[in-house]
Amino acid sequence: MNSFVPRHDRGVLRHTGSVYGTSVDGVPLTVYVPESNSAEILILAAIHGDEAETTVVMSEALRYLPVGDLKAAVILCGNPDGMLRGTRCNARGVDLNRNFPTSNWSPDPVHYKSRANDARDIALSPGAAPASEPETQALIALIDKLKPRAVVTLHSALACVDDAGASHLGRQLAGRCALPFLTEIGYPTPGSMGTWATERAAGRGLNLVTLELEDASLYALKDHHVPIMLDLMTGKFQLDAKSDH
C-alpha cells in the first residue's frame, strides 16, 4: 500500500520534471519520469488545450504521490500554447491529435465538436505536413527514447475508453472508470496519435489507450479519477492478462 503525501503538502508539485521539447511559442514541454528513468506506461494529458480538466486531474494525482513511488512517465500538458489560449489547437491552429505521421494523414481540414452531442463542424488544420509541429515531433522523440509499452492519453468529454488494440490495460481502465469500452470511436481520425501508435505497434508492442473523461464537474472528476490515476502511476494495473498455465 502506498503512503501518500500529507494533505498540507499537496499544494505544490514536488516532482522534478525534464524538458523534452518546446512548443511553437517556446513554452517548455515537461515530462515527469520515475527515478529509474524508465517507464512501461506514459500518461499524457491535454494534447487538446481546451481539455484542461485532464491536466487538473493528473496534477492532483501526481501531487498525492511521493517522488519515489512514481512508476509511470507523466505529461501534464502536451499542448501548453493551446491551454493558455483555451483552444483545442496549438498556437498555429493545428490539431496536434491529427498531426501524427500516419498512413491516413491528409492535408484537408479536420473537424471537431465542442460538446458530445454537437455536430462535428468546427474546422482546424492537421498541419502543413505530418509531424510538422514541434509538440508532435517532441512527443514522438520522447516515446522513442522511453520506449513505453503503453500510452494512456486523457481527453474529454466523450465518456468512454477507446482502445483499438483491445488491450488488457484498456479493459481494466474501462472497468475501473465505469465507462464503455470501445475499439473504435465511430468517426474518421486521420493523423491521430491512436492511429500512429497502432501502425507503430507492429513488432513493438506499443498500445495506446484513450480515456475520455465524462461530462461532469471538476470536483466530481477529481473524486472519481484521481484514485484510479494513482493506481495507474504506481504500477497497480497489469499490462498483460494473467495466464492460467
Residue 19: CATH number of its domain: 3.40.630.10
Q: Between 184 and 129, name the one with better pLDDT.
A: 129
Residue 115 has pLDDT above 80, yes or no: no
**Domain containing 95: what range?**
7-233
User: What's the confidence (pLDDT) of residue 6?
Assistant: 95
Look up the pTM and report it.
Answer: 0.95
> Which DSSP helix (H) or strand (E) runs through 74?
strand 73-75
When divided into structural domains, the chain yields a total of 1
Tell me whether residue 85 is in a domain: yes
> Which long-range contacts (C-beta less than 8 Å, at least 24 apart) are formed by 13-18?
13/59, 13/62, 13/63, 14/63, 14/67, 15/62, 15/65, 15/67, 15/70, 16/67
Tell me whether residue 241 is in a domain: no
Smallest CA-to-CA distance from 230 within 52, 44, 8, 62 is with 62
Confidence of residue 117 (pLDDT cuts 50, 70, 90): confident
Mean pLDDT of the chain: 93
Tell me whether residue 64 is in a domain: yes
pLDDT-above-70 percentage for the chain: 96
19 close to 72: Cβ distance less than 8 angstroms: no
Side chain identity at residue 133, one-letter code: E
CA distance 245 to 51: 43
Catalytic site residues? Answer: 212
Tell me whether residue 242 is in a domain: no
Tell me whether residue 126 is in a domain: yes
Residue 245 has pLDDT above 50, yes or no: no
Tell me whether residue 240 is in a domain: no
- CA distances in angstroms from 97 to 93, 125, 140, 144, listed in the order given: 12, 11, 12, 18
